[in-house]
């Protein structure tokens, strides 16, 4: 008889999954959330902070592999979500304390690079 699958067992298995850029596990980065267990089916949401498709695919594969190796798991469901910090600072913090908005000052670019008065679009 296999050991009962719990949230702690799943999170311990996910500590082996390292973010490829940050070189830390996704549990300590608080990226593994909402672990659901229904018999032999385990689901987890992995929250990314950047829209990198290669990181998303790599993490999803590693998460599936780590959970599927647990005794008693027959199916793994992984939901990948994206939570990009808002504003110029990190999270709810301002980039520069006391500064809410930074405006670009100066003459519009006169070349053909389109960095003129319309903004910084390429």
**Whether the Cβ atoms of residue 22 and residue 68 lie closer than 8 Å to each other:** no
pLDDT digits (tens, 9 = 90+) for 69-119: 999 999 999 999 998 766 555 555 555 666 666 665 655 555 554 444 444
Look at residue 43 and tell me if it is in a domain.
yes
Look at residue 55 and tell me if it is in a domain.
yes
Look at residue 23 and tell me if it is in a domain.
yes
Nearest one of 70, 79, 68 to 43, comparing CA atoms: 79
pLDDT > 90: percent of the chain:
58
Structural domain boundaries enclosing 26: 7-82
Tally of domains in the chain: 1
**Whether the Cβ atoms of residue 63 and residue 69 lie closer than 8 Å to each other:** no
CATH number at residue 47: 3.30.300.130
106 vs 122: CA distance, rounded Å = 19
- Which residues touch 5 (CB under 8 Å, ≥6 apart)? 37, 40, 42, 70, 71, 72, 73
Look at residue 114 and tell me if it is in a domain.
no
pTM: 0.68
Look at residue 56 and tell me if it is in a domain.
yes
pLDDT digits (tens, 9 = 90+) for 68-81: 999 999 999 999 99
73 vs 26: CA distance, rounded Å = 20
Look at residue 65 and tell me if it is in a domain.
yes
Q: Give the pair of three-digit tokens for residue 69.
A: 């190796």
Nearest one of 61, 67, 72, 59 to 5, comparing CA atoms: 72
Torsion sign, CA atoms 121, 119, 21, 16: negative
Look at residue 106 and tell me if it is in a domain.
no
């Amino acid at each position: 008889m296999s050991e009962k699958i719990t949230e702690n067992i799943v999170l311990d298995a996910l500590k082996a999954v390292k973010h490829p850029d940050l070189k830390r596990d996704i549990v300590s980065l608080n990226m593994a959330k909402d672990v659901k267990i229904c018999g032999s089916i385990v689901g987890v949401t992995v929250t990314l902070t950047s829209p990198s498709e290669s990181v998303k695919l790599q993490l999803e594969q590693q998460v599936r592999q780590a959970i599927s190796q647990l005794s008693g798991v027959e199916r793994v469901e992984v939901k990948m979500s994206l939570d990009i910090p808002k504003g110029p600072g990190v999270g709810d913090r301002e980039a520069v304390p006391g500064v809410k908005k930074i405006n670009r000052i100066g003459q519009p670019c006169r070349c053909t690079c389109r960095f003129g008065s319309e903004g910084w679009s390429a």
